[in-house]
Amino acid sequence: MSIWKKQADLKAINALNDGRANGVLGIRISEIGDDFIRAELLVEPRTHQPFGLLHGGVSCVLAETLGSIGGYLTCDEEHNIVGVDINATHMNSVRSGKVIGTARPLKLGRRMQFWAIDIETEDGRPVCVARLSAAVVPNAPKT
């Protein structure tokens, strides 16, 4: 059974992110299952830190992107989601290739949501595990 309350359209979600931090870094939502959301990121010079490894902050952007989009899709039309805390543990370094992030909800409450995000290499080697805490807030009034 699907957890999503809003229609999930990969093309529209990716287009919305173009020109923003996650789009500039090359994060692309690749799959939305019944209870997870997945994205891919190419590890290349624009995502490296000075020593040629995937920048830990980029892993955090990937994690928050997945948790935030997932959270948004689980909110009703009167609410939105904002991240309030992210915790990330970097387990292995990556120099090149692709990483894949998968987010699943730990709890979908009326006021708070908690998401677990696993980032792995294409062959399944763990890169980063993260947890996002997000507040469910009313939509801003339309002006």
Which CATH number do you get for residue 78? 3.10.129.10
Annotation marks residue 64 as catalytic: yes
Give me the pLDDT at residue 74, please: 97
> Does residue 99 lie in a domain region?
yes
Q: Check whether 50 has a pLDDT greater than 90.
A: yes
Give me the pLDDT at residue 142, please: 80
Give me the pLDDT at residue 143, please: 74
> Does residue 29 lie in a domain region?
yes
Q: Which domain holds residue 54?
A: 10-138
Three-state helix/strand/coil letters over 9-58: CHHHHHHHHCCCHHHHCCCEEEEECCCCEEEEEEECHHHECCCCCECHHH
Give me the pLDDT at residue 18, please: 87
> Does residue 2 lie in a domain region?
no
Mean pLDDT computed over every residue of the chain? 96
The model's pLDDT over 25-36, given as tens digits with 9 standing for 90+, comes to 999 999 999 999
Question: Of 40, 64, 77, 120, which one is the catalytic site residue?
Answer: 64
> Does residue 65 lie in a domain region?
yes
